[in-house]
Copies of this chain bind each other. A is one copy, B any other.
């Protein structure tokens, strides 16, 4: 079965649809939980699926270092290795090399770096990144790219974008012809509309199965990000999935969906689940706070996740204070469940042509704040 994207409904600039892959459908707008080291932290994959996730993200940088892509390939690929039979998108490793590795040396060829685990030297290039993602068996492969931290001089952003576009062509060439597998290009250009336009044009000329909006959520703030999203999705092909990498908080996602983005990934719901933060329709809740100590109510009334069905805030507070693993397990489950419920709500609203009222209700509920202590 070929990789395909079908848009079933539009509401303003927002779209709802389905991405078809060899390993199953992805309902869009989609949120992809992050499974960095071949696990969504503190969750079994069948539980991740139960929250409503259609696709996971795996990190090339982490997996190439440990256990290595070659080892995963010999064991039958990443899907089998981590017991997740559904679609997997892998990033290119470029972003993590820049944020995690040390002794980096960036050249036209690629990036040399030392592993943050054992200090060993490695090389990532468009060709090596394509090879690794192929060894992993990724369904959606990302181009190898580079992006500077913001703020940066426009000339720096331009040079970086141009390098990424040359790497996009090399990624496309190295990816080859893999029926059923997709290669996504990544738009760069920082906060500069003309550089974004130039990047989009170069990517369209190469031709990809989907297009990511890269270089955002790197410290520019929500207003600046949404300002880019006012025009960037429109620079990309209308009939292909648009993926905003590394985003975000629930209100970031809502704003991006309104502006025509179809796919998201972020460590926030899972990371928050390990740091006592629960995400609800009324905003984030810090379960470590003593006000939950005697509260018999669930974290979020009506939430169907195991944390809310089986436990009180008092229990969650207790196990978090006692550093019990079940605290991370339950809170991660809840957070991923909340995110997937939000995505389902967005999809339904777009399908019904009622996105504006959904978004208004979303913001109204958040403004109420968390339920008062008993």
Contacts and interface: CB of A to CB of B under 8 A. Distances in A.
A324 B39 contact: yes
A259 interface: no
Closest 5 CB pairs of A and B: A83-B310, A42-B325, A67-B318, A39-B326, A37-B322
A75 interface: yes
A2 to B, nearest CB: 29
A231 interface: no
Interface in A248-275: none
Contacts of A328: 325
Contact of A42 (B74, B82, B326): B326
A76 interface: yes
Contacts of A291: none
A328 to B, nearest CB: 6
Contacts of A74: 294
Nearest to A65: B322
Nearest to A333: B44
A170 interface: no
Contact of A71 (B38, B83, B294, B329): B294
Interface of A: 37-39, 41-46, 66-67, 71, 74-76, 81-83, 293-294, 296, 306, 310-312, 314-315, 317-319, 321-322, 324-326, 328-330
17 contacts: A37-B318, A38-B315, A38-B318, A39-B324, A39-B325, A42-B325, A44-B306, A67-B314, A67-B317, A71-B294, A74-B294, A75-B294, A75-B314, A81-B318, A83-B315, A325-B328, A329-B329
A66 B317 CA distance: 11
A83 B315 CA distance: 10
A65 B293 CA distance: 14
A81 B324 contact: no
B314 A41 contact: no
Contact of A296 (B39, B76, B329): B76
